[in-house]
Amino acid sequence: MIMVRHIENGTVIDHIEAGRALQVLRIIGGPNDSTVVVAMNVPSTKYRRKDILKMENVYVDEKKLDLISIIAPKATINLIKDGKVVEKRRVELPPEVTGILKCLNPTCITNKEREPVTSKFKVERNPLRLICEYCNKEFEASTLLKELSL
């Protein structure tokens, strides 16, 4: 049994696919001065193995939740206030991701300095991939996530 103290205020992200907690933490931006607990390869009756993140005094914004849903589509987000879960929800894949990922196609208009165009990707499921709205190049989510422009 793993013993980790409860947090009073913050966010717990549960049901992260095993081995992906550090990628999720990278999206969130690291611990700053907050306490962060990363539990990896925890036994799970539902998924066999999972990762868990507990972040004291950290709340995740919607843009970052969109990215987390791409890395960990089965994750659940628990918001904690005064030691109690005040909101629990599953992440959902958004239909598109705007302004937070960079297109890897060097000739895409979003990569031209003189063109003030914000990147936009359509999210396709099964298999999970992202398609640039401007140049129509398809990318695996993991490839784009390595180049985060947060």
Q: Model confidence over 64-112: pLDDT tens digits?
A: 898 899 888 899 999 999 999 999 999 998 999 888 888 999 999 999 9
Q: For residue 49, what pLDDT band results from cuts at 50, 70 and 90?
A: very high
Sign of CA dihedral 101, 106, 108, 109: positive
Phi, psi (rounded to 5 degrees) for 78: -120, 120
Phi, psi (rounded to 5 degrees) for 2: -95, 130
Specify the pLDDT at position 89. 93
Compute the average pLDDT of residues 51-71: 90
pTM over 0.85: no
Compute the average pLDDT of residues 118-145: 88
